[in-house]
Structure 1
Amino acid sequence: MPNTLADEVVDYRFKGLPPDAAGMTVSALAAERRNLFTGGFTTPVLALSAEALEHNLVALETFAERHGLAFAPHGKTSMAPQLFARQIERGAWGITAATPAHLRVYRAFGVQRIFLANELVDAAALSWLAGELDADPEFRFVCYVDSVRGVELMNAALRAAGGSRPVDVVVELGAGDGARTGVRTEAECAAVADAVAAVSTLRLVGVAGYEGEVPDATPERVTAWLRRLVALAADFDKAGRFAGLDEVVVSAGGSAWFDAVAEVFEELPQLSAPVLRLLRSGAYVSHDNGQYRKLTPFNRVPEEGSLRAAFTLWAQVISRPEPGQAFVNAGKRDAAHDLHLPEAKVVRDAVTGAVRGADGIAVTALSDQHGWLRVGEGVRLEVGDWVGLGMSHPCTIFDKWQLIPLVAEDGAVTDYIRTFF
């Protein structure tokens, strides 16, 4: 990974960082190992637990290895090149993207294998992609196709770009009527595959989809859809659509059903070429105290492992206007709130520094820069105290913080995670 992140200068652009660190490089500040609570950091400040992060990285690496899965975690969860590098060090095949902007960030930081979990029909992006593929023979790229029209647009743009390497594509099987993207029927999947076969700018290398969009998802519904995906791969192979490939790609897997993906992918029959069973779960890297805490597959199969919530948003009590009411200085600009409100987890006393549980304290609303707290009768909470908030839905917390302290259990900040959105 380039040294540009370590050499970046700390200044007013990065909220929560110590004002007296202005002008220092990130690497120099990290070398000081300042304490998050006594080292000059200002509130609100988002902290990423070093221990929980490492635990989560190991958990999915182990799960993928145990089930014979390749792993391309969805990078849009964090958009943090330092975390991409750690995931790849932990055996990830590559990183999954969602938009052309993601692709450019990934390539700027040397990611060599990218799975784009969308159909790419932007002519300017396809022209750039053709150049990347031609300039780097080792660069592997795969993306969805989910329509004949999309194939036509991709072909036109790639022909105009004049690239020499075809773009590898997988037909996306939609998760059912009312789901998000993807081809709805197997017959339409075949029509899209035929369209790909008719052009020289694209190469069909497999099938894929996202089981997290199965309407009214249950284990039975998700498993049924995954079996459709596996059957589609087998049917395409029997029809000779993968002739000449060294490897067939079959991919699925968000962060809520990776246990089902592992189980059904084990049912894949032998095809004419080895199969890359590619899992794409991404939210695991930080986990959360809301959406994925409830949905993690490890809740269903605890013997497979566990995940830990790695984020704490520290905010300071700035007002106690009524006995049952308090306000902290973190709001919508700081906290994930698209699915669930943050949860009050701990309180750090402003005078003694002692940390206690936040029982009896609840976040009831967020304004732009205020968190509304309901405080139970007899609960101690004073102006100046720090409240540690657990975050829900990690996909929308990384994008609110561009430089995130990585904090060891003793409070020492050991590194700073740079994000790009």
Structure 2
Amino acid sequence: MSDKEVKFDSYYHPTDSLPFEQGAKGVPLTLKPDSRYSLLSDLPLPAAVVSESALIHNAQWMQNFSDQSGVNLCPHGKTTMSPQLFNMQLEQGAWGISVASPAQAQVAVEAGAKRIIIPNQIVGLANINAVLDLIEHKGVDIYPCVDSQYLVEQWQEAASRRQLTVPLLIELGIAGGRCGCRSHQQVKALAEDIAKATHLRFAGVEFYEGVIHGDHGEDNAEHLVRTFVKGAVALAESLIDLSELDKPIVTGAGSAWYDVVAEEFANTQDLTTIIRPGCYLIHDDGIYQDAQNAVMARSQRDTSTACRIGGDLISALVLYAHVISVPETGKAIIGLGKRDAAFDAGLPRAVRLYRDGEQHPLPSLVSTNIMDQHLFVEFEQAGALKVGDVIAFSTSHPCLTFDKWRYIGVEEETGFVTKWLDTYF
């Protein structure tokens, strides 16, 4: 079980000599000598903040899950794109960081990642050369994915021109899904081509099972996912002789089926098994809470690793915003909008209410609509909200909230921020 201390030395601490850049939101406009800022009185709202204790808990929980499941953890960094959080995950014991693009890979490298998986198709000479730059000048191991002969040829040509060697993963997909070869035979043919190339190395098989959906409920979806992962493992094992790695890689798992993938990975001893959940660190109380509930339900049923390690993931992110207008009975407008919060998987949900600097009981509030800078909230209780009230909101799908903020405040205690995370989207 991981018990490594999480360090936060690289947090952004504003000082007189290091102010936030002009136009940044959710940060102090006037710096305080004690660097302790109240979300109710010192910071212009809206502001996005994460709980430090929740971050630490979630990082340790998933690392413990991975360690006890016998798999490596390479969390997907696209959720936060925060070097401080990448660094924290690596210090906890992560094998590396997963990213979606060369630009994201650069951020991961600067955060200290020595091994990076890019579970995506990197197309175009500029993108390929950006990856090769990192390999050549930073001395890191980067594993891009391919699913076509064209990309194999592009990587070979670019790598040979620079006298570099690139380890490639082959993506296995499903019919109707995203990228990826649609048959095992296609994967085998590409693996053979890569193995023959002078400046490429076949590194293994990559997949994303999150695009698999059952037509007859959760049990059917689980069966389909298990069957697909079993096939991916068997495929990777059948191609071992084409790889120069001692143990070629098989990697998959988003934030919904990581437990099932880890269980299926346990059936192989000849491969390096890597899971890539990303949203666990921030979590939410929307779509990822639903997914985690399913994980825990499966864990109770099978008494699996998630059950044995105890506890669960905690939603770490909230947005603070003012009630800026109560124009009609039972309707309030909040100074929070699409520019601030994810809205693709449900509208922000009120979790705490503050009035005149003190927390009050939260009335029944329903978010009904969202615009660029405004959230519409309805309520039945007379006087439930007043102009000037501060409401803390949780969101669903943290990836699309994080990417709207250059700085995310860190709460060491509820309602107070002393440091910030940088994000690089």
> TM-score scaled by structure 2?
0.89
295-304 or 205-214: bigger deviation: 295-304
Match of 2:303 in 1: none
The structural deviation recorded for 1:135 is 3.0
The structural deviation recorded for 1:129 is 2.7
Q: 2-side partners of 1:119 and 1:19: how far apart?
A: 42
1:19 aligned counterpart, secondary structure: coil
Q: What amino acid sits opposite 2:275 in the alignment?
A: L
Q: 1-side partners of 2:64 and 2:11: how far apart?
A: 31
* Counterpart mapping for 1:322-333 below 5 A: 322-333=328-339
1:193 aligned counterpart, secondary structure: helix
Aligned partners of 1:289 and 1:343 also within 8 Å: no
1:329-383 alpha-carbon deviations (Å, 9 max, x no partner): 100000111221111112111x2512322x4101111011000001123461111
Q: 2-side partners of 1:385 and 1:135: how far apart?
A: 52
322-331 or 122-131: bigger deviation: 122-131
1:70-127 alpha-carbon deviations (Å, 9 max, x no partner): 1110001100000000000110011001011111222233321111111223212322
* Identity score, percent: 34
1:356 aligns with 2:361: yes
1:230 aligns with 2:266: no
Change (3 A) 1:79 1:345: same
1:186-214 alpha-carbon deviations (Å, 9 max, x no partner): 11111111221221121001111011111
Aligned partners of 1:179 and 1:215 also within 8 Å: no
Q: 1-side partners of 2:422 and 2:119: how far apart?
A: 23
Aligned partners of 2:11 and 2:420 also within 8 Å: no
Q: What amino acid sits opposite 2:108 in the alignment?
A: Y
Residue among 121, 124, 140 paired with 1:122: 124
Aligned partners of 1:131 and 1:163 also within 8 Å: no
The structural deviation recorded for 1:6 is 5.1
Aligned partners of 1:298 and 1:307 also within 8 Å: no
The structural deviation recorded for 1:411 is 2.8
Q: What amino acid sits opposite 1:284 in the alignment?
A: Y
1:343 aligns with 2:345: no
* Counterpart mapping for 1:165-180 below 5 A: 166-174=165-173, 176-180=174-178
Q: 2-side partners of 1:126 and 1:364: how far apart?
A: 44
The structural deviation recorded for 1:169 is 1.1
Aligned partners of 1:121 and 1:154 also within 8 Å: no
The structural deviation recorded for 1:401 is 0.7
Change (3 A) 1:346 1:5: closer
Q: What amino acid sits opposite 2:352 in the alignment?
A: V
Q: 2-side partners of 1:199 and 1:81: how far apart?
A: 35
1:20 aligns with 2:25: no
The structural deviation recorded for 1:58 is 1.0
Aligned partners of 1:151 and 1:196 also within 8 Å: yes
Q: 2-side partners of 1:415 and 1:334: how far apart?
A: 19
1:291-317 alpha-carbon deviations (Å, 9 max, x no partner): 101112235326254111111111111
Match of 1:24 in 2: none
Change (3 A) 1:389 1:136: closer
1:64 aligned counterpart, secondary structure: helix
1:202 aligns with 2:200: yes
Aligned partners of 1:56 and 1:284 also within 8 Å: yes
Where do 5+ consecutive residues of structure 1 fail to align?
A: 22-27
Aligned partners of 2:87 and 2:112 also within 8 Å: no
The structural deviation recorded for 1:52 is 1.1
Match of 2:279 in 1: 283
2:112 aligned counterpart, secondary structure: coil
Match of 2:151 in 1: 150
Q: 1-side partners of 2:352 and 2:298: how far apart?
A: 28
Change (3 A) 1:372 1:307: same
* Counterpart mapping for 1:311-322 below 5 A: 311-322=317-328
Q: What amino acid sits opposite 2:237 in the alignment?
A: A
* Counterpart mapping for 1:12-411 below 5 A: 12-21=22-31, 32-38=35-41, 40-137=42-139, 139-160=140-161, 162-164=162-164, 166-174=165-173, 176-216=174-214, 218-237=221-240, 240-242=241-243, 244-268=244-268, 270-271=269-270, 275-296=271-292, 297-301=295-299, 303=307, 304=309, 305-349=311-355, 351-357=356-362, 359-378=363-382, 380-411=384-415
The structural deviation recorded for 1:412 is 2.8
Cα root mean square deviation, aligned: 2.0
Q: What amino acid sits opposite 1:260 in the alignment?
A: V
Aligned partners of 1:360 and 1:379 also within 8 Å: no
The structural deviation recorded for 1:42 is 1.1
Change (3 A) 1:112 1:85: same
The structural deviation recorded for 1:3 is 6.7
Q: 1-side partners of 2:263 and 2:414: how far apart?
A: 39
Match of 2:3 in 1: none
387-396 or 150-159: bigger deviation: 150-159
Q: 1-side partners of 2:246 and 2:265: how far apart?
A: 19
Match of 1:25 in 2: none
Aligned partners of 1:118 and 1:144 also within 8 Å: yes
Aligned partners of 1:172 and 1:207 also within 8 Å: yes
Aligned partners of 2:83 and 2:110 also within 8 Å: no
> TM-score scaled by structure 1?
0.90
Change (3 A) 1:180 1:215: farther
Aligned partners of 1:121 and 1:150 also within 8 Å: yes
